[in-house]
Structure 1
């Protein structure tokens, strides 16, 4: 193969691929709209260390009016986040593969870069945490108001909880793409559309359950960190030890809400994976 041909293919690969960004964005919008109430239920368990029935009782007493309170930040954050996740991953992976890097190394690097890039959206996760906490119902009227209040504490408040998010995003993205693409290679041989969609849902669901369980303690640390406004910024290890002691010094108490989290991950990542594949078929 000539040098000119190789260079041409490399340039074609490096051209901006808007389709991956769009598919990620669309899959996230569908996903968040379906799973937000479940996410809020799990959030209450993570934050307060309470059982499912107690968290459900809280939300039931608050009524339907507050059920979708706080959905705007995750809708913005998740739609942009998944757009970045899939788009940046392919923008990084494909040129590396064209340069004859090992495919698995290219996937890991692509996943790490996309996960790290997603961290620019930390302010949305920060505000979502505050709006979903009933303690702040009277303090924050809506998303815009929450952003204004946080700004009065300094712009660093927007990025409280950044470190656990970085520790979560990069490794989880790398694992997700490696597992997903191994699975997708096997799903693509299915000729029946219904079976293929079912397999895409189930595959994404099982990967989501596996990864969300592994990284669950980091989400607990992230929520505990972001639940505070003002004051000292503590390291993830300090927060983890604090939560561990507050919950009776038992590791299993760090996993309060993990069952519902698995349920949410099953539905969320299943919907997202199937929606992403269908959107790809539309735009390619």
Structure 2
């Protein structure tokens, strides 16, 4: 059965009224909680994808790499993405709403307001790039014996200057902003078009599928930027590279075949489906309890 439209509208209005004119900390909290649940579930799958991006190998080869390294290395390097993702999604949802809402209240076109809010939230997330940088190094088998733990890796990279934490910034900026725009606009369009179910199971399933479909689409669209980012961040020290030159090198190293730029995209789609499905579902359920 569907919920009456009046009930749904009343629920939305109640949520808005609790925020007042103050900083809506609830959106930041919902994003943080959703990311925590997401990372702890999807980290092993993400690590397989990372190996495929870095070495250009198939899913089975990446799986056996991790299997041969042993269970003790499986969750190695999870602290940086856990810190980065929880703060990142907190900023993503919080900054987006703090920018979008006042723009809409002042008569700005809703789609422009959403796009500006999403772009600014994506750019703000880049502040947390050092966590993503260390995650790349910790997941690379080249550095297994070099770094004792996450904090050791942070100290080691710091020896090359603060700028070393931000190696690979350009592809991250080109990924974060546009992907956030796509996520928020598509998500809200789907929420308006999809029916509202009153049973918990159907509602949860709809939320999961909504997040999963958006995640698969956007992660596949921006996959080459992640390949570029991983390649740039797998190095420590030396001159900062031109992203276009690095992209050209990857293309040539992989036999000048565009299809090889997408090694790992299948596993990435599975991870994105699981990750964004879990994230969207967790966000909506946390939001129901926190408002």
Tell me if structure 2 keeps the 8 A contact 1:13–1:95: no
1:122 alignment counterpart: 129
Unaligned runs of 5+ in 1: 1-8
Q: Aligned match of 1:140 in 147, 158, 162?
A: 147
Partner of 2:182: 175
In structure 2, C-alpha distance between the alignment counterparts of 1:163 and 1:16, rounded to whole Å:
30
- How far apart, CA to CA, are the structure 1 residues paired with 2:275 and 2:210? 12
- Provide the C-alpha distance between the structure 2 equivalents of 1:13 and 1:115, rounded to a whole number of angstroms: 25
- Alignment partners' CA distance in 2, 1:188 and 1:70: 40
Q: CA shift at 1:132, angstroms?
A: 0.1
Unaligned runs of 5+ in 2: 1-15
Listed one character per residue, the Cα deviations across residues 71-98 of structure 1 (whole Å, up to 9, x for unaligned) are 0000000000000000000000000000
* 1:158 aligned residue: 165
Q: 1:33 aligns with which of 15, 40, 46?
A: 40
Moved over 6 A (4+): none
Residue 13 of structure 2 corresponds to none
Does the alignment pair 1:276 with 2:275?
no
TM-score, length basis structure 1:
0.95
TM-score for the superposition, normalised by structure 2: 0.92
Aligned partners of 1:121 and 1:187: how far apart in 2?
Answer: 34
1:187 Cα shift? 4.0
Question: Once the 2 structures are TM-superposed, how far is the Cα of residue 45 of structure 1 from its aligned partner?
Answer: 0.3
How far did 1:235 drift? 2.0
Secondary structure class of the residue paired with 1:233: coil
Instruction: Name the CA distance, whole Å, in 1 between partners of 2:72 and 2:144.
Output: 12
Query: Following the alignment from structure 1 to structure 2, what is the Cα–Cα distance between the partners of residues 30 and 268?
Result: 9
Residue 53 of structure 2, aligned match among 42, 46, 58: 46
Cα distance change, pair 225–14 in 1 and its aligned pair in 2 (3 A): farther
What displacement does 1:182 show? Answer: 0.9
Q: Deviations over 1:74-123 (max 9, x none)?
A: 00000000000000000000000000110000000000000000000110
Q: 1:13 Cα deviation (Å)?
A: 5.8
In the TM superposition, 1:88-107 aligns within 5 A as 88-107=95-114
Give the equivalent residue in structure 2 for 1:70: 77
Partner Cα distance (1:128, 1:25) in 2 = 18
Offset from partner CA, 1:160-191 (integer Å, 9 cap, x none): 01110000000000110000011122346222
Aligned to 1:5: none
SS of residue matched to 1:270: helix
Alignment coverage as a number of residue pairs: 274
Is 1:213 the counterpart of 2:248? The answer is no
Residue 224 of structure 1: aligned partner: 231
Q: Secondary structure at the match of 2:39?
A: helix
CA 1:13 to 1:249, structure 2 compared with 1: closer, same or farther past 3 Å?
A: farther
